[in-house]
Amino acid sequence: MAVGRVVSNGHEPLLEVRDLVKHFPLKRGMLANLAGESEAVHAVNGVSFSVPRGGSIGLAGESGCGKSTTAKMLLRLFEPTSGQIIFDGQDIVTLKGAELKAFRRRAQLMFQNPYESFSPRFTIFRSLAEPLLIHGVKSADERTRRVWQALNDVNLQPAESFFQKFPHQLSGGQLQRVVLARSLVLEPEFLAADEPVSMLDVSVRAGILNTMKEQAAQRNLTTVYISHDLSLIQYLCETTAIMYLGQIVELGPTAGVINEPQHPYTKALISTIPIPEPERKKTTIPIEGGVPSAINLPSGCPFHPRCPYAMDICKRKVPPPLDLGQGRTVRCFLYGGKDEAEKSEVAA
Ligand code: SF4
């Protein structure tokens, strides 16, 4: 099995991401341009993973780790600098025109901020019917039926009572349910949700997460969840990928990654999750400082400036992804690859 490949539910991958890279060039002054100097934000630096049909993966990490940029590339909202995104056997990076439009019907993104997701001048019905019109559902009756069904499925009932409402007449929780309904109305096969409940009060989050989980199961949706909140990922995802500075540093079945983290960064992240058992002692892994700039990436292992276990080799060489078995991979010299990295230095 290739490193980063996850076939957790026995189905073939619907989505396979191969060595995905996204660099955003920075605009520089005229003198710097004349001197040929160029800088870029290295947002995503060689990400690979796969998700089986009907499966779910969570991309977790601190702000700036590249998880949202990765999600936007999966939907072709950002063009990758390099790499492949294989969706149902086809590289979507190459799609144009009608083929790209057809892909967009099958793959949807659920946005983070429900308050900025709708035109304030459109009724809820119009906001949900618009994608159907764009994707060729010509029958008004069929559009009405599908809008009704989507609202009903996300527990906005009676669905017809929401048709003529405007966004400002709904609570944040109701509005986020409408965001979910809009992403389901085209009956997609793939859904990416970027921090789907982070803008909502804690009191309404659980209900929306339950609805998302139910709908994903009922529709056999393949899902990618983006979140800094590992407890959300633990609840929703079969597989978890921990990202740091644009790389997946650890990947595997969620229970394994959360209960037995291997990478020092994953251990540090897990140690910050509150445990509702005051008696139980927690080991906190100290990591110093903040995430380094994605413009000037650290040499070697990108985590070495903050890692309490950093060795000399970590400053010079990038650890390769190591297959730990049982669908788990980690990028860290503590688990192997150190001797090979040192030998390659001598040979060079
Ligand atoms: Fe820490 Fe080295 Fe492992 Fe990177 S490779 S996480 S610096 S021990």
Looking at residues 97-116, what average pLDDT do you find? 92
Binned at pLDDT 50, 70 and 90, residue 2 comes out as very low
pLDDT at 77 > cutoff 70 = yes
Find the 249 Cα to ligand 1 centroid distance in Å: 10
Binned at pLDDT 50, 70 and 90, residue 111 comes out as confident
Looking at residues 201-227, what average pLDDT do you find? 93
Q: For residue 213, give the nearest of 231, 237, 242, 190 by alpha carbon.
A: 237
Find the 193 Cα to ligand 1 centroid distance in Å: 30
244 lines ligand 1 (CB under 6 A): no
Binned at pLDDT 50, 70 and 90, residue 288 comes out as confident
DSSP character for 286? P
Ligand 1, atom 6: closest residue by C-alpha: 332
Non-local CB neighbours of 106 within 8 Å, separated by 6+ positions: 87, 88, 188, 189, 190
Mutate to test the pocket of ligand 1, among 304, 317, 322, 331 (most ligand atoms within 8 A of CB): 304
State CA 136 to chain mean position distance: 29
Q: For residue 244, give the nearest of 191, 309, 307, 172 by alpha carbon.
A: 307
CA-319 nearest atom, ligand 1: 5
Query: What is the sign, positive or negative, of the torsion defined by CA atoms of 215, 217, 221, 227?
Result: positive
CA-265 nearest atom, ligand 1: 6
pLDDT in tens, 4-47: 444 445 568 999 999 999 999 987 666 666 666 668 999 999 99
Non-local CB neighbours of 243 within 8 Å, separated by 6+ positions: 47, 59, 60, 61, 65, 66, 67, 70, 249
Instruction: Give the relative orientation of helices 172-184 and 124-134 as an angle to the nearest 10 degrees.
Output: 20
The share of the chain scoring above pLDDT 70, in percent, equals 90
332 lines ligand 1 (CB under 6 A): yes
In this predicted model, which residue has the larger pLDDT, 339 or 216?
216
The pTM for the full model equals 0.90
pLDDT at 189 > cutoff 50 = yes
- What does the alpha-carbon distance between residue 224 and residue 9 come to, in Å, rounded to a whole number? 15
Non-local CB neighbours of 137 within 8 Å, separated by 6+ positions: 143, 146
303 lines ligand 1 (CB under 6 A): yes
pLDDT at 207 > cutoff 80 = yes
Written as one letter, the residue type at 30 is M
Name the helix (H) or strand (E) containing 239: strand 239-244
- What does the alpha-carbon distance between residue 342 and residue 300 come to, in Å, rounded to a whole number? 12
User: Beta partners for 242?
Assistant: 60, 250
103 lines ligand 1 (CB under 6 A): no
Binned at pLDDT 50, 70 and 90, residue 158 comes out as very high
Note the pLDDT of residue 277. Answer: 63
Find the 253 Cα to ligand 1 centroid distance in Å: 21
pLDDT in tens, 236-268: 999 999 999 999 999 999 999 999 999 999 999
Note the pLDDT of residue 303. Answer: 95
Find the 50 Cα to ligand 1 centroid distance in Å: 25
Map tokens 């019907």 to a residue. Answer: 105
pLDDT in tens, 129-142: 999 999 999 999 99
